[in-house]
């Protein structure tokens, strides 16, 4: 029997996919797929990913793309994405990750939209908890950061929906690439004085981490705020607009200092949320932070701030077939594939169901 499986994570900005063979991730990729620019982009991206990964008899998918404002509601988004997945991947078997419900067929997506919608964090957490039974999963992606407590080998979130998770601190809307700079801080120190930030889409967090030399390769796949190039000089120009200046008005070191402050402000926000999550109890003080996402290096700093050891999600069993950065960047896709391919637990492809 062909034991291959492909896992999919359909986001609003990116499509991620991971191929699993014999319980091991052997390939993974991320493609730009901004749904707000047109729904035709999803089947196109799926076709490109399939051309690169090859066919498989089984596919497991999770999503957050239903939140894209091209959809009138999350239910509509879940149903549309489920339909595209089934049409694009058939006649292979396709199942959707519905969190606490497990895997469901695409035909059940609309009826179980509450469980299917934005459940990719739970797939990552469920896989992590199998190997790190107690800890805090910290997944910093391009747009958001998930903070999920793990205990007794299972995720123990206080919230399940996006609304509940935002209120609980377990979902922080800040990420390594796509966050608006004016959302990172109210004011910044520059040229010896505090400066407010322009509340305008002049720059993103990708510009911050590019200037710091901490933007992983292939992490920034979206257009820049001004449509110009992705260079340090262009990032300096974009950040300069945030404080009402041109880049030529200060040295590269000064702009790097501004970027460092903004990164620190973002880390502070994530740390506060993590401390709120941990204050509920259930995660001992010596339990690790399991870090993943394109911002995995930021999760290492988070662990240090919390005084906890750090574990790399990409080092978990089954993930060593691809480089760590790729495995972390595509964590939900890899997780949903490994969960679906595990006999006797959440798995279903081995049963022929």
272 sits in which H/E element? helix 252-278
Whether 305 has a pLDDT exceeding 60, the answer reads: yes
Same domain, 331 and 309: no
Count of structural domains within the chain: 2
Same domain, 142 and 176: yes
Give every CB contact of residue 305 below 8 A, 6+ residues apart in sequence: 267, 271
Question: Which segments within 98-248 are labelled E, that is strand?
Answer: 103-104, 135-140, 145-151, 154-155, 171-172, 187-190, 193-196
Same domain, 308 and 255: yes
User: How many Å apart are CA 68 and CA 74, to the nearest integer?
Assistant: 8
More confident residue, 170 or 100: 170
Q: What is the mean pLDDT of the chain?
A: 94
Spell out the long-range contacts of 158-164 with Cβ–Cβ below 8 A and sequence spacing 24 or more.
158/277, 158/280, 160/99, 160/100, 160/122, 161/114, 161/117, 161/118, 162/67, 162/117, 162/118
Percent with pLDDT over 90 in the chain: 90
The range of the structural domain enclosing residue 68 comes to 5-132+316-351
Same domain, 107 and 67: yes
β-bridge mates for residue 95, sequence order: 60
Express each pLDDT in 318-351 by its tens digit. 887 788 888 888 999 999 999 998 865 566 565 3
The number of CA neighbours under 13 Å toward the Cβ of 163 is 2
pLDDT at 345: 54
Same domain, 283 and 187: yes
Express each pLDDT in 29-48 by its tens digit. 999 999 999 999 999 999 99
Q: Which of 61, 64, 18, 13 is nearest to 41 (CA)?
A: 13
User: How many Å apart are CA 77 and CA 71, to the nearest integer?
Assistant: 5
Express each pLDDT in 161-185 by its tens digit. 999 999 999 999 999 999 999 999 9
Same domain, 172 and 204: yes
pLDDT at 298: 98
Quick one: tokens of 280?
């509920």
Q: Look up the CATH number of the domain holding residue 262.
A: 3.30.420.190
Same domain, 65 and 176: no
Q: Look up the CATH number of the domain holding residue 93.
A: 3.30.420.40
Whether 264 has a pLDDT exceeding 70, the answer reads: yes
**Is the model's pTM score more than 0.85?**
yes
24-32 and 145-151 beta bridge pairing = unpaired
Same domain, 152 and 281: yes
Same domain, 82 and 13: yes
Same domain, 94 and 147: no
Same domain, 229 and 251: yes
Q: How far is CA 165 from CA 22, 85, 162, 195, in A?
A: 34, 27, 5, 32
Same domain, 148 and 84: no
Question: Which segments within the chain are labelled E, that is strand?
Answer: 5-10, 14-21, 24-32, 58-63, 93-97, 103-104, 135-140, 145-151, 154-155, 171-172, 187-190, 193-196, 289-292, 310-312
């Amino acid at each position: 029997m062909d034991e291959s499986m492909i896992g999919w994570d359909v986001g609003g900005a990116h499509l991620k996919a991971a191929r699993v063979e014999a319980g091991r991730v052997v390939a993974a990729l991320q493609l730009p797929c901004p749904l707000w620019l047109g729904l035709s982009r999803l089947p196109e991206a799926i076709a490109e990913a399939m051309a690169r990964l090859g066919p498989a008899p089984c596919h497991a998918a999770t999503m957050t793309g239903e939140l894209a404002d091209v959809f009138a509601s999350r239910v509509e988004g879940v149903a549309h994405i489920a339909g595209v997945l089934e049409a694009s991947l058939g006649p292979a078997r396709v199942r959707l990750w519905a969190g606490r419900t497990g895997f469901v067929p695409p035909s059940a997506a609309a009826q179980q939209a509450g469980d299917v919608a934005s459940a990719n964090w739970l797939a990552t957490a469920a896989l992590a908890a199998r190997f790190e039974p107690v800890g805090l999963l910290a997944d910093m992606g391009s747009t958001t950061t998930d903070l999920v407590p793990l205990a007794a080998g299972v995720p123990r979130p206080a919230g399940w929906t996006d609304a509940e998770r935002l209120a609980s601190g377990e979902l922080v809307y800040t990420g390594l690439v796509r966050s608006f700079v004016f959302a990172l801080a109210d004011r910044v120190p520059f040229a010896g004085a505090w400066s407010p930030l322009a509340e305008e889409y002049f720059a993103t967090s990708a510009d911050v981490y590019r200037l710091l030399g901490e933007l992983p390769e292939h992490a920034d796949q979206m257009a820049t705020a001004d449509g110009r190039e992705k260079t340090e000089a262009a990032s300096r120009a974009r950040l300069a607009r945030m404080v009402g200046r041109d880049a030529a008005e200060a040295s590269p070191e000064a702009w790097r200092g501004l970027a460092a402050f903004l990164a620190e402000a973002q880390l502070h926000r994530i740390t506060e949320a993590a401390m709120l999550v941990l204050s509920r109890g259930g995660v001992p003080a010596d339990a690790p932070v399991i870090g993943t996402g394109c911002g995995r290096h930021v999760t290492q700093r988070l662990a240090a701030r919390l005084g906890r050891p750090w574990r790399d999600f990409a080092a978990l069993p089954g993930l060593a077939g691809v480089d760590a950065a790729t495995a972390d960047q595509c964590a939900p896709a890899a997780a949903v594939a490994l969960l679906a391919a595990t006999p006797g637990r959440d798995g279903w492809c081995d049963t022929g169901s």
